[in-house]
Amino acid sequence: MDELDSLKATALVMMLISNFVTDLNYFGIMVVEKGDFWWWLARSTATLFVGVSGFSYFLAHREVHVFSKTLKRTRRLIFWAFTITVMTFIFEPDAYVRFGVLHLLTFASLIAFPLVRRPVIAFIFGLFFLFVPLFSNETLVWIGMSETGLSAVDYFPLNPWLGVFLICIGLSSQIYSEGKSLIKIQWPEKWLLLGKNTLMIYVFHQPFLIALLIITGLVPLDQVIP
């Protein structure tokens, strides 16, 4: 659906800006503090990204509800989530990704399958995961159930992000009950193309941003690769 692809493109641009600022903060070029504009931008971006994924998941299963197709789509997420874990462990072993946004979307895609045709139940479960307290045991980080105090460059625990995903499934059943676009706009094709390729851009954007910092001289190479 074009309007959701447009929202994905919007979330993608927000993510590129937010993650670039996060890189600047990580390398000590600027400071991002809790509660400031950049802190809120990161959380708004994540909410939009995960929320739109929930809407898209409902629409993808509105007419065809076959687990084998869900699993086929999810395999790409599994592959890239595992790749990101390995690569971040190599370059940042003290803060590598255990349960980032791709891990979350993989888990959510599987767990939401029996709920997507029961949107009211999905909504109730979503509220539960939005507010349920997590645990402090770090071994639970691998399934997104540990508290957010963990040191990681990307962490999307089940609270609140699975909650956001499931709530949006419930909302989409009302907003897109007929599976039709609500906004009659002719979106630019190149803009929609961004929204349709968010996965690949997400996977490769960080190496590009860090290379940009190195090329411009803002970050020395030995600070990235000791």
C-alpha distance across the termini of the chain, in Å: 45
SS3 percent helix, strand, coil of the chain, rounded to 5, is 65, 0, 30
Q: What is the pLDDT of residues 40-50, one digit of tens each?
A: 999 999 999 99
Say what the pLDDT of residue 181 is.
81
How many CA atoms lie within 13 Å of 200's alpha carbon, on the beta-carbon side? Answer: 5
Across the range 76-105, mean pLDDT stands at 90
- Whole-number Å distance between alpha carbons of 58 and 109: 10
Q: What is the pLDDT of residues 19-60, one digit of tens each?
A: 999 889 888 888 888 889 999 999 999 999 999 999 999 999
Q: What is the pLDDT of residues 9-18, one digit of tens each?
A: 999 999 999 9
Average pLDDT, rounded, for the chain: 89
Q: How many residues does the chain have?
A: 226
Q: What is the pLDDT of residues 170-213, one digit of tens each?
A: 999 999 888 888 888 888 999 999 999 999 999 888 889 888 88
Beta bridge pairs of residue 135: 146
Tell whether pTM > 0.95.
no
